[in-house]
Amino acid sequence: MTPRRQSANLALVAMVIGLFGAVVFLDSASSDAAPPVHPTKRAKRKKARSASHPPGAKRKETKPKTRQPAGIVGKRTIRALCSGTYTSDWARMPAAVRFEEASSRYTFCLRSTAVYQCIDYDASGKIRRTRKTVRRHGTAFAFRRAKSATYLMTNEHVSEWPFVTGGANKVDDVPDGCKRLSQSVTIVDNENDSYNRDDVQLSRVVVDAELDVSVLKGPVSVNRIPFTLGQSAALKAGDAVQSRGYPLGAFQALTTGKVINPRDHDQEGTWNHLDFVIDARLSAGNSGSPVLALSCKTGRLELIGAYHAAYRGGSGLNVVVGIDEFREILTTLKPRRRPKVVPRRLTRHDRVRLLAHMQAATVTPIVPFGGQIARIRSRGPRLYYDLFEKGFPMIDVRTLVIEDLPARGYGRIGRIRFSTNRKTRERSFTQLRAIEQTHVAQFVEALRRHAFAVFHYRRQVALPDTSRAHHEHLRRLKRALSRGSAKRKALVKTITEIAQNETEGTKARP
């Protein structure tokens, strides 16, 4: 073969090989572009990718960046709003939380109604019985939903009325000495709501006078409760608060303010609990309104107390019962568990000591009891209790004289002399009916204990007041003495009725 022909053949072979290579390249490219879905090939590709990152090599993982606002959206908790427990600035409240609270119907206007019967005399001297109906308005808030009812909370002074008016239990437009026949609590639109067919009747679950708390329940429609239970002990001055209620019972209003005193021991009247003071503008109809704060941690509203009173003469000085005081009531729907305090029993030594003081004239044996005056006298080992009428000391008339004989323990009741309307009758304790014996025994026991408490208080007052601790001790003793005044008044009233029954039918003294 000539060189020229040989070079031509080589060129032809090279051309064929080139065309074949191009076809193979195009085929492989089309195969990589759209491979068939097959587990084996997927595993091979995964293995090939992982082979490019041998063990020990650091792989950089990228995550999608999502910007989240502070607060809470739905049930998703995100970063803290602020430092501390509660915020001091309502501008930090997330829009979702603000909308949830504003669109929730959880506060209601309450109408508390009582009917009293009053007894007086007409011009002819005949007994006349009249009935008086009184009303007051306040606020209640829902804190729990159940299948059959919704539980609400308000103040005890909103839902409850005194059994008998007078003294510390005065009721506007009702004379003293009137007896309560009935009381009820309903949900109304406002104080001017006169259509009662759509009013919701509520029933009582728990009432605590010391805390000024009343839990009610009824078929109330509540779409949501926009708060959880917080901690009043975590409050500090400057924390922002808000309250939604019905000022003067007129309309629903949202009021904001700040904590100005996180701890205030409230011992006004029968109250005995811890309050905190806020500067929010609240009025009478707001009693029972929930007081909320915004949690820094969760961004949610928390219940920290219930508004219940205001300082007299103070503008914007409103006091709130802390949630820590009544949390147990809200969670259990039962009265608080209190440590059972068993009063010390009076013994023979107490009696001997009292007789010694009376003989030495180191004690004044006159004490106030149930709005009247009681006196203790001694004649040898015997004690005598005199209960004077209200006109004492201008009128020296004793409704009751009870003999206290020495016996095992402190003593036992001997003879009793009843006197009413110039009529006198003397009976022994065993001659009384069983129910009368019970009432007389309760009266004597209460008088004994109260007399010893008064004598102890007088001795403490006589000591030099040189320290704050002693001063506070005197305040506690005085408060303890006044705490049982209502019970002592009831005992005096009962014992007076027994005296009237015992002297009925006897001849009056000339």
Rounded CA gap, 148 and 203, in Å? 13
pLDDT band at 71 (very low <50, low <70, confident <90, very high): very low
Q: What is the pLDDT of residue 49?
A: 42
Return the H-helix or E-strand segment holding 213. Answer: strand 213-218
Cα separation, 243 vs 83, whole angstroms:
23
CA 125 from centroid of its chain's CA atoms: 47
C-beta of residue 287 within 8 angstroms of C-beta of residue 308: yes
Residue 268 DSSP one-character state: S
The residue behind tokens 């629903």 is: 252
Q: What is the pLDDT of residue 252?
A: 92
Query: pLDDT tens-digit profile of 298-319?
Result: 999 999 999 999 988 766 789 9
Predicted confidence at residue 86, as pLDDT, reads 96
Structure tokens at 339: 């440590």
Question: Which residue would you say has higher pLDDT here, 507 or 468?
Answer: 468
345 DSSP assignment: P
> Can you tell me the mean pLDDT for 203-228?
94
CB crowding 155-172: b at 16 or more within 10 Å, else e:
bbbbbbbbebbeeebebe
Which of 266, 30, 294, 8 is CA-nearest to residue 155? 266
Residue 391 and residue 407: Cα distance in Å, rounded?
Answer: 34
> Amino acid identity, residue 479?
R
Q: What is the mean pLDDT of residues 235-262?
A: 94
Decide if 257 contacts 283 (C-beta within 8 A). no
Q: How many residues does the chain have?
A: 510
Percent of the chain with pLDDT over 70: 82
Taking alpha carbons only, the member of 168, 145, 185, 172 closest to residue 333 is 145
Are the CB atoms for 291 and 305 separated by under 8 Å?
yes
For the chain, list the domains and their CATH numbers. Answer: 90-332 (2.40.10.120), 348-503 (no CATH)
Nearest to 183 by CA among 171, 175, 168: 171
Average pLDDT over residues 258-278: 91
pLDDT reported for residue 124: 86
Q: In the prediction, which pLDDT does 439 show?
A: 94
What would the pLDDT profile of 104-159 be if each residue is shown by its tens digit?
A: 999 999 999 999 999 988 888 888 999 999 999 999 999 999 888 999 999 999 99
Q: Let me know: does 95 contact 126? Beta carbons within 8 Å.
A: no
Average pLDDT over residues 249-267: 92
Structure confidence at residue 227 as a pLDDT band (50, 70, 90): very high
Residue 72: predicted pLDDT:
42
264 CB neighbour count, 10 Å cutoff? 15
Q: Is the pLDDT of residue 65 over 80?
A: no
Over residues 181-200, the mean pLDDT reads 94
170 — phi, psi (to 5°)?
A: -75, 145
pLDDT score of 8 more than 90:
no
Q: Positive or negative CA dihedral for 240, 243, 248, 253? A: positive
Confidence of residue 44 (pLDDT cuts 50, 70, 90): very low
The segment with the largest mean pLDDT, out of 219-228, 264-273, 308-317, is: 219-228
Q: How confident is the model over 358-371, as pLDDT tens digits?
A: 999 999 999 999 99
DSSP reduced 3-state for 465: coil
Looking at every residue in the chain, the average pLDDT score rounds to 85
Q: Can you read off the two tokens belonging to residue 141?
A: 């808030």
Question: Given this model, what pLDDT does residue 19 score?
Answer: 55
Q: 3-state DSSP call for residue 1?
A: coil
Q: Using one digit for the tens of pLDDT, what is the confidence trace for 492-510?
A: 999 999 999 988 866 655 5
Which of 46-50, 177-181, 267-271 is predicted least confidently?
46-50
∠ Cα 220 226 231 (to 5°): 115
How does residue 380 score in pLDDT terms, banded at 50, 70 and 90?
Answer: very high
Give the pLDDT of residue 20: 53
Give percent of the chain with pLDDT exceeding 90.
62
Whole-angstrom Cα distance, residue 261 to residue 440? Answer: 47
Overall average pLDDT of the 406-411 stretch? 92
- Residue 472: what pLDDT? 84
Query: How far is 161 from 105, CA to CA, in rounded Å?
Result: 28
Residue 53 has pLDDT above 50, yes or no: no
pTM of the entire structure?
0.66
Across the range 173-195, mean pLDDT stands at: 94
Residues 10-29: tens digit of each pLDDT: 555 556 555 555 444 444 44
- How far is it, in rounded angstroms, from Cα 104 to Cα 97? 11
**Lowest-confidence range among 333-342, 427-436, 446-455?**
333-342
Widest distance between CA atoms in the chain:
177
* Confidence at residue 269, expressed as pLDDT on a 0 to 100 scale: 81
Q: In whole angstroms, what is the distance from residue 226 CA to residue 105 CA?
A: 9
